[in-house]
Structure formats: C-alpha cells, structure tokens
Amino acid sequence: MEASVNDMKAPNQHAERVLLMLDLAAENQFDPEQILELRPGSPSTKVFSATDFGGVRTGRGWSRDYTRNHSAAVEAMVSAARPYIGRHTELLVSGMASLGSYAELGLRVSSWHDDVTLVNQRKDRQWDFCSIGGVQDREPYFDQIHFPRRSAKESGRVAVVVSSGYAVEPELIEKFFEQQGETLLSTVTLRAVPPAGSTRKDVTVHNTPGLARSLCAEIEKVKLMYPGQRGLAVFVVGPAQLAFLVGRAINPNVYTSVWFPHKHGDGYVAGSKVPWEDKVRVRMLLSAPEDLSPMDLEQEQMLAVEVLDRPLSRDSFDLAVEHAATFNQFFEMLMYERPQIVHFSGHGNENLLAFTKEDGSKADLVPAEAMRRALGSAKDPVNPPRLVVLNACLTEKQAEAMTEHVEFAIGMRPKIKDARAIAFTRRFYDALASGRSLQNAFDQARDYLSKWGAKADDTPKLFCRPGCDPNRVRFFEAK
C-alpha cells in the first residue's frame, strides 16, 4: 500500500485500486491497512486521506467552525486521486465523517466512475463492502416518492429529503431556508419505510446497486419538474453510504449549487456547499453621460464601498464597479459574472435608462423593453440575479417588469435627487451587510428618506415575484 502524500506527481499508469479515506472524525478511526487486508486480492493501491489534505479531525466529523475546512480537504483529496483512477480502477470509500462530507465526496466523484465500493463497519464490528455495480435488487429501496407540482415560472432552491426511515418535519426545512435567506421552491421526498421493529432500512450489499440507480433517476427528474430551480438543498437522513450515493447521483453540471444541511440539535444548520460561495457578488453600473445633467455618482460608490468594507461584511461581499457603464457591459456582466445583486445608478424614466456610449461620452438611451429582454436572455439560467436596484428617476414601472426574470427589483417613483439616492444606497447596503432581511434593509433605507420630508408616495418601491418573500431573504448571515 502506498500513501498519497508520498508521491503527488502525475502517475505513469492508473492504480488498480484507490482508497479514499474520510478520516475527519476524532473518534473510532478506521485503519486503511485493516480495510485492505479484508478485501480479496492484492493489487497496487493508492490511499488518499482527507487529513493529508488539511482536514482537521472534529467530534463526530462535524464542527460549525471547520465546515469549510472539511469541504476544502474533500475537494483537494478527490483532485489528487483523480489522475490515478482509470476505467478498471476499483475505488473504495471508507472512514468516519459527517453526512455532508460523505455527500460532498459522492458529488465530487459523481458518476464518472462506476466501480465504487462503500466500506462500512457495522455495530456488530462486521464489515460491509457495498458495491455500486452488480445485480440490482428487485425490491425498490424507496417506498414513498413525492414531487409536488409547481409553476414552471417560479424560481428558488429545491429541498430534497432522502431518508432511510425518519421523516423530516416541513417546519424544520422552512426554518432552515428562512435562516439562509433562500426561497424554498418545493420539497421532494424520497423515503424508505423501515421493516417492522426497526427505525431505518439499511443500505446493504444487495440493495446498493438498485439504490444507486434509483437515486440517479429521481434526482434527474428534479430539473424537469422544476425548471426554475437554481440549486438543491439535500437533507440526508440515514447512514453514510446513503449520503455518498445521494451526492453521487447529483450532476454538478446540471445542479450548479448544492447544499447539504447538517442536523444540529432540534434543527438544521448550514453544512457542506458545492461550490462554496464565500461572497455575494454585487455589481454597480454607474452612468453619467456628458450630454446629460451631472450626477454625483462617485460619492454613491464611495459610500457603498465604505459600508461593504466594514469588518462584519468585507469577507462576504464581492463588489465591482463599472464607471461610464455601457449596455454591452451590462449584458456581458450578466453572462459571465453571475451577480446576485445588480445596481444601476444614473438617469432614467419610465421608458428608458441612460447608459454611456462605447466612446465614453454621450448617452446611449436604452428602452425599458430592451433591458427586460436582456435580463431574460443573458442571465445565467441556474443562478440569475436575485435583486436589481434601479437608482434612477421614475423607474418604478421598469423595476416591476423586471420581476418576470428576477425575484426582487427596486425602482424609484419620483425624480429623486442625488442626496436622496446616495442616502438610500448607503442605508440599504448597510442594513444588508449587517445580516438584515431584504425587506428590513429596504424599509430602513426608505424610512431614512423621511429626513428630507419624503412622503410614502415619493419613496422607492420594492417589487417581488409572486411566491418570493423578502422577509425571508438574507444575502448573508451576520457574523
């Protein structure tokens, strides 16, 4: 047996066997040597352990403070092991870690390799070697499969409950989504009914092949049933083998954002995420063409940067600013940068926004319909912007129309003065950065305008797509 840390160079040939060890739990560590001795044959073996790639052992393999550490270790381990795995390589998976780490390992391995064996020690100290390949059990593993119907136009994240027995209370899922500031599009349930006298249906040598195939088929249905989904939140209730198989069934090219919440106490908290999104991407488009009345956009930018650079938020926001922004920059930003928040500041009215021409001088008056169409065609279909802010005069109707393609949009009702526009921007992002909900941040910014005697009919307005609740949306959790 060879340890992975001894030779990190690209291999000259694939290994006959690769063992991935999720050794992230401080207690009851499995011995790789013992596992290999129990497996028939003696092919050349490469062993990769998560702790060799920076993973820190924690109690029961999970700690809120080390979730990111474990995720990074799993990713690095799979990346290092991949060159050694060929068509005929046997891949063994074992160890002790959280269900989220097992699910993430399964997702990163995905279905690019079929010869996978899950190695687990039962409570009676006997070992199970459950291979994905093999003869499929005639009896289906899941007894309850439920896909609630939703409008094809609705968007949000889909919760997928995969359980070997216990049900997950809907209230716990709703509470988790609320804490994460995410919209719950629907909850899919894949649940086994345990045999009499048991609390769960085991994952065994006999049912593993069929279970693996069933999970792939059912997870594939999610994208068809919910075309507006922008990711999954997968709640796994069961053994580590089930968690790995769930992760393996998820195609990362289809579901580009996947969460694996962790059961903690009486509820769920954030666990592994693929990819790990550290920052909320905010893109500010500033446009003050020379042939229109001057605007103090530099001050607005400076205040936004100041607010988002405070200690509580500087590690959570990715802010980029385009000066003399063109319509083409808006289009390319939607396609390539996938911002969660798009903020436009400049001139506008009910029918247009004033971008800047490519030569950087005169105004390029873009019709509202062109903006709406661009937002619909250029946005990323899986991760579109969640919020558009139009900090320009008389943009209320434009903002309302944009909710066809985004969940939330803010538009200005009156001809708003620079001082008010700047004040609104500062208060709004200040509240978001402190972890407040979108609705609360908007209310604070709007109410602050009363300093200038602004009435309710003369203040900005927040528009929401049907089914999207701004009280439940937080762009990040305050530290």
pLDDT in tens, 22-48: 999 998 678 888 888 888 665 778 999
Q: Which residues pair with 229 in a beta bridge?
A: 156
| Sequence-distant (≥ 6) Cβ neighbours of residue 319 within 8 angstroms | 282, 283, 284, 304, 305, 308
Give the other-Cβ count within 10 Å of 216's Cβ: 15
Residue length of the chain: 479
What pLDDT, on a 0 to 100 scale, did the predictor assign at position 9? 46
- Number of Cβ atoms within 10 Å of the Cβ of 19: 25
Write the CB contacts of 180 (distance below 8 Å, at least 6 apart in sequence).
Answer: 259, 270, 474, 477
**Residue 292, pLDDT score:** 84
Handedness of CA 90, 217, 256, 51 (dihedral sign): negative
Residue range 92-102, pLDDT digits in tens: 999 999 999 99
Low-confidence ranges of the chain (pLDDT < 50): 1-10, 479
End-to-end CA, the chain: 44
Computed over every residue of the chain, the mean pLDDT equals 86
Closest among 368, 365, 401, 408 to 385, alpha carbons compared: 408
What is the pLDDT at residue 7? Answer: 44
> Phi first, then psi: what are they for 444, rounded to 5°?
-60, -45
> What is the pLDDT, as a whole number, of residue 378?
74
Is 352 in contact with 365 (CB distance < 8 Å)? yes
pTM exceeds 0.85: no
Q: Which of 387, 451, 424, 476 is nearest to 303 (CA)?
A: 424
Give the per-residue pLDDT at 4. 40
